[in-house]
Structure 1
Amino acid sequence: MAKPHGGGGGILDLERHYAFYGAYHSNAVNVFIHTLFVWPIFLTALLLLHVTAPSAHAATAAAAIYGAFYLTLDRRAGALAALLCFLCWAASGALASRLGFSAGWKVVLVAQLFCWTMQFIGHGVFEKRAPALLDNLVQAFLMAPFFVLLEALHKFVAYEPYPGFHANVGKLIVQARKKWKEEKAKKMT
């Protein structure tokens, strides 16, 4: 049976993307840490593009790619994610204009170091598993903002891209975590 809203397979398979990322984020404290710090990482990455990229449109292109990708995965949550991408782009552009290169890259450095440190603490202390980016850098970077948005929408308004989505991805996450634990146990013996 074909899955609605971007669940058909390949690069647009929301269930696969969500389950991949979700398998690395099963601890509630770690998910909360990511919810707080993933979007600031995105915003300051756009700020970095505004102040350092050779093309004046690099930040615009990055925000547009992320927003378009999220829209293709799920129209409703993707529209909200695309709006957040636009707001991050606008805020980072305003910050870049105000701060300039000298202060801008320093803000990026401090924010990125702090946010990444918090996420690694979340993984090391609470999740007790390396971050997803160590296994699939591109997928982790693309999915992180959308994953935390979907997690927040599900928690606060019981949002599902389609009926049964969370049940389906829950099964995939359990399978992926079981496989990871088995591989980890094999390495220990």
Structure 2
Amino acid sequence: MAKPSGGGLLDLEGHYAFYGAYHSNPVNVGIHELFVWPIFLTALLLVHLTAPFAHAAGIGAAVYGAYYFLLDRRAGALAALLCFLCWAGSGALAARLGFSVGWKVVLVAQLFCWTMQFIGHGVFEKRAPALLDNLVQAFLMAPFFVLLEILHTFGGYEPYPGFHDKVSKMIEEARKEWEDKNSKKSS
């Protein structure tokens, strides 16, 4: 599998192409669009319920939001707002539900959302999830990837003109490399 290009931590094209190479089936992409942000929200809820210091969830949400803003200011600003709303919503849920009920909500939501993700990969994508090849990159990029996909699908958004065409070629190359590697293994 081709690794993201040499731009490093702020290489939006490379990160998007890496993640996109694992998400080409439209049903799988739709599943991710529905369930990635709830995973983020309930992860923050878990942090609110269990963190040893009160501001841990806010710091986590701020790091994600700042990172997305650095990757692309326009979509990143929206992603940062979504991170803030997830932080605020998870804090309100934590206060309302308390630990006893809150952790059960987290458990059910996480199990359901992750199960749907794995069904998307196993049944529709027919490829293991990106997190098996790069855990940190997959967890960090997933919310922003699905937001960019939604913005592009419903509004034609691109971080810059030609972005989608460029990363689509990178994704196609990475998928071809993966398919060639798999065909050699099976022969």
Superposition TM-score, scaled by structure 1 size: 0.95
Structure 2 counterpart of 1:48, which letter?
L
Give the match for residue 15 of structure 2: 17
SS at structure 1 position matched to 2:60? helix
Aligned-partner Cα distance in 2 for 1:130–1:150: 22
Instruction: Give the CA deviation at 1:185.
Output: 1.1
Size of the alignment, in residue pairs?
Answer: 183
Q: 1:27-42 residue pairs with structure 2 within 5 A?
A: 27-42=25-40
Structure 1 counterpart of 2:99, which letter?
F
Give the match for residue 67 of structure 1: 65
Give the match for residue 125 of structure 2: 127
Structure 2 counterpart of 1:114, which letter?
F
1:52 equivalent in alignment to 2:11 = no
Q: Deviation string for 1:153-184 (max 9, x for gaps)? A: 00001000000100110010001001101111
Aligned-partner Cα distance in 2 for 1:61–1:185: 44
Give the match for residue 80 of structure 1: 78
Structure 2 counterpart of 1:120, which letter?
F
- Unaligned residue ranges in structure 1 (runs of 5+): 1-6
- Range 50-59 or range 66-75, more displaced: 50-59
Q: 1:87-106 residue pairs with structure 2 within 5 A?
A: 87-106=85-104
Give the match for residue 179 of structure 1: 177
Give the match for residue 164 of structure 2: 166
Give the match for residue 118 of structure 1: 116
Aligned-partner Cα distance in 2 for 1:186–1:101: 51
- Identity of matched residues, %: 80
Give the match for residue 3 of structure 1: none
Aligned-partner Cα distance in 1 for 2:141–2:185: 28
Superposition TM-score, scaled by structure 2 size: 0.96
Runs (4+) of structure 1 exceeding 2 A deviation are: none
- Unaligned residue ranges in structure 2 (runs of 5+): none
Aligned-partner Cα distance in 2 for 1:53–1:183: 43
Aligned-partner Cα distance in 1 for 2:175–2:56: 37
Q: Deviation string for 1:90-111 (max 9, x for gaps)? A: 0000000001111111000000
1:43 equivalent in alignment to 2:41 = yes
Q: Deviation string for 1:18-52 (max 9, x for gaps)? A: 00000000000000000000000000000000001
Structure 2 counterpart of 1:188, which letter?
S
